[in-house]
Amino acid sequence: MTGTVINIDRVVKRFGTFTALHEVSLDIAENEFFTLLGPSGCGKTTLLRCIAGFEPVSGGQIRLHGEDIAPLPPFKRPVNTVFQHYALFPHMTVLENVMFGLQRLGWSVVDAEGRAKQALELVHLSQFLKRRPGQLSGGQQQRVALARALAPEPKVLLLDEPLSALDLKLRQAVRMELKQIQRETGIAFVFVTHDQEEALTMSDRIAVMSDGHVQQIGAPREIYEAPANRFVADFIGETNLIEVPVLGISDGMAEVSLPGGRALRCPTPLSRAVGQGVLSLRPERIDLCPASEADLTVIATDQVYLGTDIQLKAQLAGGQEMTVRLQNAEATRLPERGTEVGLKLEAGAARLLSA
Ligand SMILES: Nc1ncnc2c1ncn2[C@@H]1O[C@H](COP(=O)(O)OP(=O)(O)OP(=O)(O)O)[C@@H](O)[C@H]1O
């Protein structure tokens, strides 16, 4: 059983009259890879900076192992930060860059060298100890920054979009490494990103944020399969949001009337009856079917070949556009533009959310 390392309790952050964080509460467990995910400006970096101590909070408390850390200046907090721009010292070797912080903390040269070497081994850079940052690739430089932040063995490592300066292939490779390093060290990682794929692949849990509010906290699968509201459904993955009349709600299940008139039962986080709701339909969980078995009948309007699958654009009875992703579609099976198509909603395709 792991305990809570960071407890964020109703934290408010104001810049003048603007409120960047509205009573944000969340707990981060020891050993956890925890991600703050949300669009630009939602307050992720601000929350990270409050944890690091670069910004004082305007209200609420941040506790580390139960103790309020407000009185501690950044350098006295047992947390370390890895930034997007890694800011290594160009005139120092890789080893010296990692040793520098330790020596500043009072470590002897011998001890600092031993620990720095361990940290560099962890990030697979042992063969580059004598190189200068300018002689390394972007991904390698970012790993030096990571080793530097991990070396003093902080209780928590804060990572502010550390992969965003890397190209796609490198980013994917470093992602897996980062996750592995987190597991090996057992240090809690608080990772900030606006990239949902990054969040889904690495995190134990994700807090989805928007406009300074936490919208949902959960494991990647939970956030994807059971979004708490319209914002989360739309932000994580792709979805179709369709307004529907709600016939009834009980025990986490809703009955709705689909465009065209068919009734559908689907899960919902709503507990009270509402007249109108929004149905989230995941495009990859919809398939073509004969008209007699169709949940929805649509008119095909366009198709886009994407390699791994084919995106079919279609129009619903009421005129609303929707998208279907056909994974194993053969070109011959695809409906022509303008023809009527039957669609089957597979298990997990639909979820009713509030309008
Ligand atoms: N020092 C500041 N003074 C005034 N407003 C600020 C300050 N720092 C941040 N903000 C505002 O607070 C909000 C949250 O900013 P923050 O940097 O936390 O967003 P973010 O989610 O990390 O976005 P991004 O992904 O673009 O970095 C934004 O509207 C931003 O303009």
Residues 281 and 179 in one domain: no
Cα 343 to ligand 1 centre (Å): 43
From 45, 161, 210, mutation site for ligand 1 pocket: most ligand atoms within 8 A of C-beta: 45
Residues 173 and 249 in one domain: no
Residues pairing with 34 in the sheet = 190, 205
Asked if 327 contacts 308 with a C-beta cutoff of 8 angstroms, the reply is yes
Question: Is position 63 within any domain?
Answer: yes
Output the six-digit token pair for 110. Answer: 């011998």
Residues 342 and 244 in one domain: yes
| Opening angle at CA 74, ends 48 and 140, nearest 5 | 65
Question: Is position 64 within any domain?
Answer: yes
Q: Which amino acid is at 54?
A: F
Domain of residue 214, residue span: 4-225
Asked if 345 contacts 285 with a C-beta cutoff of 8 angstroms, the reply is yes
Question: Is position 187 within any domain?
Answer: yes
Residues 318 and 197 in one domain: no
- Residue bearing the CA closest to ligand 1, atom 26: 40
Question: Is position 107 within any domain?
Answer: yes
Ligand 1 atom closest to Cα of residue 43: 18
CB of residue 40 inside a 6 A radius of ligand 1? yes
What's the maximum distance between 2 C-alpha atoms anywhere in the chain? 78
From 15, 37, 49, 51, mutation site for ligand 1 pocket: most ligand atoms within 8 A of C-beta: 15
Domain boundary residue among 201, 225, 249? 225
Question: Is position 230 within any domain?
Answer: no
Asked if 194 contacts 43 with a C-beta cutoff of 8 angstroms, the reply is no
CATH code assigned at 46: 3.40.50.300
Cα 46 to ligand 1 centre (Å): 6
Residues 296 and 190 in one domain: no
Burial class (CB in 10 A: 0-12, 13-18, 19+), 1: exposed
Residues 207 and 259 in one domain: no
The closest alpha carbon to 324, from 267, 277, 297, 285, belongs to: 285
Residues 130 and 251 in one domain: no
Domain boundary residue among 225, 252, 269? 225
Q: Which amino acid is at 96?
A: E
Rg (CA), the chain: 24
Question: Is position 231 within any domain?
Answer: no
Question: Is position 8 within any domain?
Answer: yes
CB of residue 38 inside a 6 A radius of ligand 1? yes
CA distance 6 to 26: 8
Q: Which amino acid is at 229?
A: N
Cα 56 to ligand 1 centre (Å): 14
- Residue bearing the CA closest to ligand 1, atom 28: 41
pLDDT digit string (tens) for the chain, length 355 residues: 469 999 999 999 999 999 999 999 999 999 999 999 999 999 999 999 999 999 999 999 999 999 999 889 988 888 999 887 778 999 999 999 999 989 998 999 999 999 999 999 988 899 999 999 999 988 889 889 999 999 998 999 999 988 887 788 878 888 888 899 999 999 999 999 999 999 999 999 999 999 999 999 999 999 999 999 999 999 998 999 999 999 999 999 999 999 988 999 999 999 887 789 999 999 999 999 998 899 999 999 998 888 888 899 999 988 889 999 988 666 657 788 899 999 999 988 999 999 8
Cα 319 to ligand 1 centre (Å): 38
CB of residue 43 inside a 6 A radius of ligand 1? yes
CA distance 95 to 264: 62
The closest alpha carbon to 355, from 256, 239, 240, 242, belongs to: 242
pTM, 2 dp:
0.90
Residue 350 DSSP class: E
Residues 216 and 244 in one domain: no
Cα 216 to ligand 1 centre (Å): 20
CA distance 300 to 323: 10
Residues 197 and 251 in one domain: no
> Tens digits of per-residue pLDDT, 37-49?
999 999 999 999 9
> Tens digits of per-residue pLDDT, 135-191?
998 888 988 999 999 999 899 999 998 888 778 887 888 888 889 999 999 999 999
CATH code assigned at 259: 2.40.50.140
Question: Is position 119 within any domain?
Answer: yes
Three-state secondary structure call for residue 243: strand
Residues 219 and 243 in one domain: no
Ligand 1 atom closest to Cα of residue 36: 21
Q: How many domains does the chain have?
A: 2
Residues 152 and 292 in one domain: no
- Residue bearing the CA closest to ligand 1, atom 19: 41
- Residue bearing the CA closest to ligand 1, atom 11: 20
Cα 176 to ligand 1 centre (Å): 28
Establish whether this prediction's ipTM goes over 0.90. Answer: yes
Domain boundary residue among 225, 254, 288? 225
* pLDDT > 90 in the chain, percent: 72
Q: Which amino acid is at 131?
A: R
Query: What stretch of H or E contains 104?
Result: helix 94-104
- Residue bearing the CA closest to ligand 1, atom 14: 43
267 to 8, 270, 351, 352: CA distances (angstroms):
31, 9, 5, 6
Residues 79 and 191 in one domain: yes
